[in-house]
Amino acid sequence: MLTGIPYIEVIRKVLRYGYKRVIKPAYNSGGLKTRLFSGTYLHLLRKCPVPVWLMKIPKSGKFQRILAPIDIGHDEDNELRDALSLQILELGSSLAITEFGEIHIAHAWNAVGEITLRGGHSAHEVDNYVEEEKMRHCRWVEELYQKATKHLGRDALQYLSPQLHTPKG
């Protein structure tokens, strides 16, 4: 039993025992603003040295759909980026299997500078650039999915038959 300011005590425990992530249920007490902007949640998201996963517990007690958001990022450290995305896929897949739910893998992308380029370049050139960016992001998602297949096992991912979403935006 811990006493003190909740988010500080959670962070202390993470540091003391070397936990890799914090999973925190988001309780349905109060209005939308209370649920989304609770001080403890925001402090954990901002200050915790490990990833924080906030989960809204469904009324049925079952998670029917799990969203695993992944990001290509802007870092040069591809190994670290992919490791985090694989961890997200692994956690989401494990939860989907446990709950007999479905998993959706999402990656939103954009073409950096598209609006600026449209002001000074031909529409054809900019459209080609945007299409190349879209394909680059889709390839990354596909490659990551292939890594996840090797990591989690083909049978598990075939059972889940995840849906891939790569919207622009």
Do 51 and 81 reside in the same domain of the chain? Answer: no
Q: Could you give phi then psi for residue 46, rounded to 5 degrees?
A: -80, -35
Segment 28-55 mean pLDDT: 72
- Tell me the pLDDT of the chain averaged across its residues: 82
Burial of 7 per CB tally in 10 Å (0-12, 13-18, 19+): buried
Do 42 and 94 reside in the same domain of the chain? Answer: no
pLDDT at 40 over 60: yes
End-of-domain residue from the set 16, 31, 57 = 57
Question: 68: domain range?
Answer: 61-169
Q: What is the pLDDT of residue 159?
A: 81
The CATH number of residue 7's host domain is: 3.40.50.620
Do 89 and 112 reside in the same domain of the chain? Answer: yes
Structural domain count of the chain: 2
Q: What is the pLDDT of residue 53?
A: 80
Do 97 and 115 reside in the same domain of the chain? Answer: yes
Gap between the terminal Cα atoms of the chain: 44
Do 107 and 67 reside in the same domain of the chain? Answer: yes
- CA torsion through residues 75, 80, 85, 91, sign: negative
Q: Is pLDDT larger for residue 76 or for residue 97?
A: 97
pLDDT at 66 over 90: no
Do 99 and 127 reside in the same domain of the chain? Answer: yes
Do 138 and 155 reside in the same domain of the chain? Answer: yes
Q: Is pLDDT larger for residue 167 or for residue 99?
A: 167
User: Which of 31-40, 60-69, 110-119 shows the lowest per-residue confidence on average (mean pLDDT)?
Assistant: 31-40
Do 46 and 65 reside in the same domain of the chain? Answer: no
pTM: 0.65
Mention every residue, 6+ apart, whose C-beta is less than 8 A from residue 94: none
The string of DSSP codes covering 99-125 is: HT-EEEEE--B--TTHHHHHHHS-HHH
pLDDT at 75 over 80: no
pLDDT tens track for 126-148: 999 999 999 999 998 888 888 88
Do 111 and 70 reside in the same domain of the chain? Answer: yes
Do 49 and 72 reside in the same domain of the chain? Answer: no
The string of DSSP codes covering 29-42 is: -S-HHHHHS-HHHH
End-of-domain residue from the set 11, 32, 57 = 57
Segment 61-71 mean pLDDT: 83
Segment 93-99 mean pLDDT: 84
Do 53 and 80 reside in the same domain of the chain? Answer: no
Q: Length of the chain, please?
A: 169
Do 28 and 69 reside in the same domain of the chain? Answer: no
End-of-domain residue from the set 19, 39, 57 = 57
In sequence order, what are the beta bridge partners of 69? 106
Among 144, 141, 56, 54, residue whose Cα is nearest residue 106? 141
pLDDT at 111 over 60: yes
